[in-house]
Every structure is written in C-alpha cells, then in structure tokens.
Amino acid sequence: MTKRDFQDAVRQLGPLLRERAARFDAEDGFVSENYPDLKQYKLFSMLVPAELGGGGATLAELCQVVRGLGQHCASTALAFSMHQHLVAATVLRHKRGQPGAKLLEKIAESERILVATGATDWVNSNGRAKPVEGGSPVADLMITSFAADEEPEGPSVIHCPVPLNAPGVTRLDDWHTLGMRGTGSHTVELKDVFVPAENVAVKRPKNQWHAVWDVALGIAPPLYMAAYVGLAEAASTVALGRAALNSGAVVTQLAVGQMEVALTTAQLAWQDMVVRAGDCDFTPSPEHASAQLVRKTIVTRAVKETVELAIEVVGGAGYFRNLPLERFWRDVQASHYHPLPEKRQQLFTGRHRLGQKDFWDV
C-alpha cells in the first residue's frame, strides 16, 4: 500500500463511518464494526517503518488520517489515535536505538491493536504492584503502569504491557458519558494479574519526572487532538451548508466570521503541534512537552468555540438530533480531559517556566 492510499482509505471509509456514528452514540456502543474496515486498509500499522513490515507513513500523514476520520466519526478517530500514539512512541524509541522493533513487527504482521490506561495514571500511577517470585503482578495489549513501593531501590513505577485476555483482567461496563460514547473507554480492572519480570518495559523512581512523559506528551497530543480538529471542521461544514438559508442576516454573517477565526486558530495550533513532533524524531524534554501542552490548550479552546458557533450559525435547528451538531457539541467536550486539562496545563507550564522542580506535581 502506498502512502497516498492511506488518504484514499479515509475517503472510501468516510460515508460508512458517518452513517454508523449516530447509532454508536445512541447505543453507547463501541465502534467495533469500524475496526475490521480500518484493518482492511492496514491503518493500524501505517506508521510502522517499512523495513519492519509496516506502511512507512510519516507522523504528519498519520495525523492527517486521524483528522480525516474525525470529520466522519469522532469516536472512531479518537479510539484509533489512542492506539497510534503508543505506536508512535515505540517508533521514536526504535529510531533512537532503543527496544521496540519486535512489537512494531507484531503490529505490522497482524494489525495488533494497543490500548493505554489513560492519563489518570500520570506520574505516580494509580495501580499497585508488589513483587512475587518470577515477575511483577500488575496483556490484542494494554500498556499500563503500577506503583511498586516495595522495590529494593525504593518506591518505583513499573510500565508494562498486559494482555487484555490475561487472568484477572476485567473490562467494566461503565463508559456511559456525555459524548465520545463510541470510544469504549471503559474502566479496566486488574486484580492479581501476573506479568513476567522480563516483560517490564520501564522501571522508574516514583515522585520524579521521567523521560517517558517527555515522549508521551511530545507525541500523543497532536494525534488525539487531530480527531477534534476533524470534528470541528465537520461542524463548520454542516453550519455553512445551513447558513445559506439565512445568509442575509447580519447575525449569521457575524457568527460565520467568528467560526472561521476559531476554526483557523485550531488548525494552526494543531499543525504547529504536528510540526514540533517531527517524524517521531524530536528530542524529548520537559520544554518540548510543555510547548505541546500549551498548544493543546489553544486547540481545545478553539475547537469548542468552533462547534458552539456552528450551532449559533444554524440557530435552533442545531439543537435537534436530526443534525449532528448536538452530537458534535457533546463529543468536543471530551477534548478538555486529555492531558493536561487547561488549569493543570497552566500550572505545569508556569512551574516549569519558573524553574521549579515539582513542576509535574499538578
């Protein structure tokens, strides 16, 4: 498959994803029907380097695919981006001569899907682990972390993959939300799960910043925010289509102008995030992470404003479910909760700029 084919895949899949989106939203159903279609076009392995069997796409090309998916089904785009930011981080490590090639080869071989336990883990993690003989209890794979307070070298955090079909892993049916209902972001409960010690990917000191977060915050935001940029673009398109019915009204003209400013702000800030991430080859640092988080806040504000103004352009009809704008409004609210929410980002950035050592403790 050529790189151009990835964008062709989005165009081919778009109408089908758009047709299913309202149903997934109404039923609180995971977008599982869309995954075989994404696999058919080998989108899950598109970022894996060609020499490892993947599509060899650049990070910028992947971000454009997520953006395109977001124009048709935001939940699909966001769920897809959660896999891809883990792949992107692995590609970055591979390019820096660190382990990762085997996992990338497995993804390319079978379109294996990765999931993460989310930003609630943050620096010190939510899980708990204690040592047992032969391994660390803590799985397609879930990439997660656990606090291990009984390590010989002191309190630590362990990062490791856990098979989702491993004994002790239970997916709870609790993702009943305002928006992004199709992402299937249910809580995963792990109880007495065993992972061999050799499967531990990273062990780092607890209560300290670590380079793993420089990588994650440097590469993940442009991917998951691409879904929201695509969503905002879709909202603008719907609004402009309806604006023709009342284009002579001054309030409509003003709202359209304001919507264009908000959308352009989102696009420009997001594009800068993509540029800063390079082709999974940036130098990870707290400075880079903070810069990406600042832009994430700008994009979040702007995509929310875009969708709100789209509804204002349309007027009362935007409140009805026969138009997707009310779903777009609900979905775009989730942009706030990706790391870091605005006030935590501002505290993180402010502390870092002031040279404080605990800048991460937000």
Render pLDDT for 292-304 as a digit per residue (tens, 0 to 9). Answer: 999 999 999 999 9
Contact 37, 20 (CB under 8 A): no
Domain that holds residue 174: 119-208
Classify residue 361: in a domain, yes or no. Answer: no
**What are the residues whose beta carbons fall under 8 Å from the beta carbon of 323, sequence distance 6 or more?**
238, 242, 314, 317
Both tokens assigned to 314 = 């349309």
Peptide bond into 43 cis (omega under 30): no
Q: How many CA atoms lie within 13 A of 69 on its CB side?
A: 27
Confidence of residue 132 (pLDDT cuts 50, 70, 90): very low
Q: Cα–Cα distance between 21 and 113 in angstroms, integer? A: 21
DSSP 132: B
Three-state secondary structure call for residue 160: strand
Q: Cα–Cα distance between 231 and 286 in angstroms, integer? A: 29
- Residue range 331-358: mean pLDDT, rounded: 97
Both tokens assigned to 185 = 């972001």
Residues 21 and 100 in one domain: yes
**How many residues in the chain?**
362
Task: Label the pairing between strands 188-190 and 169-171.
Answer: antiparallel
Residues 196 and 219 in one domain: no
Q: Cα–Cα distance between 301 and 345 in angstroms, integer? A: 13
Residue 134 has pLDDT above 80, yes or no: no
Q: Cα–Cα distance between 362 and 346 in angstroms, integer? A: 10
Out of 57-71, 185-199, 209-223, 280-294, which region has the weakest mean confidence (pLDDT)? 185-199
Residue 341 has pLDDT above 80, yes or no: yes
- Residue range 96-103: mean pLDDT, rounded: 94
Confidence of residue 137 (pLDDT cuts 50, 70, 90): very low
Residues 322 and 217 in one domain: yes
Domain CATH number, residue 276:
1.20.140.10
Classify residue 85: in a domain, yes or no. Answer: yes
Classify residue 362: in a domain, yes or no. Answer: no
Residues 30 and 100 in one domain: yes
What integer pLDDT is reported at residue 129 of this predicted model? 53
Q: Cα–Cα distance between 148 and 129 in angstroms, integer? A: 5
Out of 17-26, 73-82, 111-120, which region has the weakest mean confidence (pLDDT)? 111-120
Residues 239 and 126 in one domain: no
What integer pLDDT is reported at residue 165 of this predicted model? 87
Domain CATH number, residue 156:
2.40.110.10
Domain CATH number, residue 19:
1.10.540.10
**Which amino acid type is present at position 78?**
L
Three-state secondary structure call for residue 189: strand
Confidence of residue 150 (pLDDT cuts 50, 70, 90): confident
Classify residue 335: in a domain, yes or no. Answer: yes
**What are the residues whose beta carbons fall under 8 Å from the beta carbon of 213, sequence distance 6 or more?**
123, 289, 360
C-alpha closest to that of 77 among 14, 120, 2: 14
DSSP state letters, 48-111: S-GGGTS----HHHHHHHHHHHHTT-HHHHHHHHHHHHHHHHHHHHHHTT-S-HHHHHHHHHH-
- Residue range 60-83: mean pLDDT, rounded: 97
What integer pLDDT is reported at residue 116 of this predicted model? 78
Rounded to 5°, the CA angle 107-112-116 comes to 105
Number of domains in the chain: 3
Classify residue 79: in a domain, yes or no. Answer: yes
Residues 204 and 224 in one domain: no
Residues 109 and 62 in one domain: yes
Classify residue 359: in a domain, yes or no. Answer: no
Identify the domain boundary among 80, 97, 113. Answer: 113
Percentages (nearest 5) of helix, strand, coil residues in the chain: 60, 10, 30
Classify residue 358: in a domain, yes or no. Answer: no
Residues 174 and 131 in one domain: yes
Residue 277 has pLDDT above 80, yes or no: yes
Contact 333, 179 (CB under 8 A): yes
- Residue range 216-221: mean pLDDT, rounded: 97
Both tokens assigned to 253 = 């003209």
- Residue range 53-69: mean pLDDT, rounded: 97
Tokens 């989730």 sit at which residue?
334
Cβ neighbours around 160 below 10 Å, total: 25
pLDDT digits (tens, 9 = 90+) for 152-176: 888 888 888 888 888 999 989 999 9
Residue 68 has pLDDT above 80, yes or no: yes
Cβ neighbours around 8 below 10 Å, total: 12
Residues 175 and 238 in one domain: no
Kind and range of the H or E element at 36?
Answer: helix 35-40
Can you give 283-348 as a three-state secondary structure string? Answer: CCCHHHHHHHHHHHHHHHHHHHHHHHHHHHHHHHHHHCCCCCHHHHHHHHHHHHHCCCCHHHHHHH
Identify the domain boundary among 173, 208, 243. Answer: 208
Residues 45 and 126 in one domain: no
Residues 67 and 196 in one domain: no
Classify residue 159: in a domain, yes or no. Answer: yes
Identify the domain boundary among 113, 142, 161. Answer: 113
Residue 139 has pLDDT above 50, yes or no: no
Residue 120 has pLDDT above 70, yes or no: no
The better pLDDT of the pair 307, 194 is held by: 307
Residues 129 and 199 in one domain: yes
Both tokens assigned to 109 = 């071989």
Q: Cα–Cα distance between 162 and 199 in angstroms, integer? A: 9
